[in-house]
């Protein structure tokens, strides 16, 4: 059973991974041989001059740490006005109702076609947005984009500007070793981490269909998106932030190509 880690290095978070772009969240434990393997459950905050936007809403059980992290970042403003919901899975949208209660001026955006069924009292605070829509935060913007890898029909990705940050949700996921002190570190800070193998392993849990298809077109599409949009930072919900794309992304691509090796 997946459970909370006993000693997550929460003191490292939140972290500002680019100007106005913050990494928040916690970890999940995944079984991996005799080791303690963690998968991140990250959320990200884009902070503009006029408003802030939270990318995904985490597990409901993450609320105490998430609230503390948000309070520390937003103490001097601006107001949290947008909650981007990449899709309906619990790690991505589980705490949305709680967050809307805590931030009464915030609205939830994304492909939210059925959220009103779960939150009828908050229906007016869910706004449908589609790829190509841009949210202006004041000197910073967030654009919804078509996902390269989608696990639900409603999955959306995003790009933050001027950070040139790609929010890849369940795509570009990989685990890390808790006992080695990897929690709260970026991928480039962990040269010893086998990202290729960890990527294949997390795909087995989060995106098992990738182990049964030809993944080459997905690799090509992701390479093209990163190149055409001049992406400088890649941020997934279940992987560590990637700030050195030239070094790390080839390992991600290799893990995608070998995802089938983890499918029985």
On whether residue 57 sits in a domain, the answer given is yes
On whether residue 159 sits in a domain, the answer given is yes
* CA 112 remoteness from chain centre: 17
Q: Measured between alpha carbons, how far is 101 from 98 in angstroms, rounded to an integer?
A: 5
What is the pLDDT at residue 34?
Answer: 73
Is the pLDDT score of 204 beyond 70? Answer: yes
The angle at the Cα of 182, spanning 176 to 184, to the nearest 5 degrees, equals 105
On whether residue 5 sits in a domain, the answer given is no
Q: Is 20 helix (H, G, I), strand (E, B) or coil?
A: coil
**CA distances to 68, 132, 136, 165 from 143, in Å:** 27, 6, 9, 10
Give the chain's mean pLDDT.
90
On whether residue 3 sits in a domain, the answer given is no
Is the pLDDT score of 11 beyond 70? Answer: no
Q: Measured between alpha carbons, how far is 252 from 236 in angstroms, rounded to an integer?
A: 12
On whether residue 2 sits in a domain, the answer given is no
Asked whether the beta carbons of 73 and 80 are under 8 A apart, the reply is no
Token reading at 36: 């303690």
The angle at the Cα of 246, spanning 240 to 250, to the nearest 5 degrees, equals 75
pLDDT (tens digit per residue) in 250-263: 999 998 888 777 65
* CA 25 remoteness from chain centre: 9
**Average pLDDT score over residue span 162-177:** 93
User: What whole-number percentage of the chain has pLDDT above 90?
Assistant: 69
More reliable by pLDDT, 210 or 141: 141
Label each residue of 90-111 as H, E or C: HHHHCCHHHHHHHCCCCEEEEC
Half-sphere exposure of 133 (CA within 13 A, CB side): 13
- Reported as a pLDDT band with limits 50, 70 and 90, residue 20 is very high
**Average pLDDT score over residue span 65-81:** 96
Q: Measured between alpha carbons, how far is 232 from 171 in angstroms, rounded to an integer?
A: 16
What is the pLDDT at residue 47?
Answer: 98
Phi–psi pair at 248, nearest 5 degrees: -95, -40
Residue of 23, 27, 29, 36 lying closest to 9 (CA atoms): 27
- Reported as a pLDDT band with limits 50, 70 and 90, residue 7 is very low
**Average pLDDT score over residue span 125-154:** 96
Query: For the chain, what's the residue count?
Result: 264
Residue 244 domain boundaries? 10-262
Residue 55 belongs to what H/E stretch? strand 52-55
Domain count, the chain: 1
Instruction: Give 27's strand partners.
Output: 40
On whether residue 4 sits in a domain, the answer given is no
CATH number at residue 247: 3.60.15.10
More reliable by pLDDT, 8 or 128: 128
What is the pLDDT at residue 37?
Answer: 78
Token reading at 32: 């991996």
Phi–psi pair at 145, nearest 5 degrees: -135, 155
Token reading at 52: 């802030």
Is the pLDDT score of 65 beyond 60? Answer: yes
Token reading at 207: 């995106």
On whether residue 246 sits in a domain, the answer given is yes
Residue of 263, 214, 222, 213 lying closest to 242 (CA atoms): 222
- Residue 249: how many other CB atoms lie within 10 Å: 20
On whether residue 1 sits in a domain, the answer given is no
């Amino acid at each position: 059973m997946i459970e909370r880690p006993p000693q997550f290095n929460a003191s490292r978070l939140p972290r500002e991974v680019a100007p106005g772009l913050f990494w928040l969240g916690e970890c999940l434990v995944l079984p991996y041989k005799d080791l303690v393997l963690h998968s991140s459950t990250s959320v990200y905050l884009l902070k503009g001059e006029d408003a802030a936007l939270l990318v995904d809403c985490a597990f409901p059980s993450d609320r105490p740490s998430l609230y503390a992290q948000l309070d520390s970042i937003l103490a001097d403003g601006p107001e949290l006005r947008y909650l981007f919901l990449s899709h309906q899975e619990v790690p991505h949208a589980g705490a949305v109702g709680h967050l809307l209660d805590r931030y009464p001026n915030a609205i939830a955006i994304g492909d939210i076609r059925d959220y009103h069924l779960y939150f009828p009292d908050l229906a007016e605070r869910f706004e449908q947005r589609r790829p190509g829509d841009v949210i202006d935060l004041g000197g910073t913007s967030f654009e919804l984009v078509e996902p390269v890898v989608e696990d639900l029909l409603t999955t959306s990705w995003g790009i933050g500007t001027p950070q040139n940050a790609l929010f890849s949700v369940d795509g570009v996921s990989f685990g890390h070793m808790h006992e080695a002190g990897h929690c709260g570190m970026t991928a480039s800070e962990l040269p010893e981490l086998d990202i290729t193998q960890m990527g294949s392993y997390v795909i087995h849990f989060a995106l098992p269909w990738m182990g049964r298809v030809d993944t080459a077109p997905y690799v090509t599409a992701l390479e093209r998106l990163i190149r055409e949009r001049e992406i400088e930072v890649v941020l997934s919900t279940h992987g560590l932030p990637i700030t050195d794309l030239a070094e790390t992304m080839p390992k991600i691509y290799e893990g995608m190509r070998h995802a089938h090796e983890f499918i029985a």
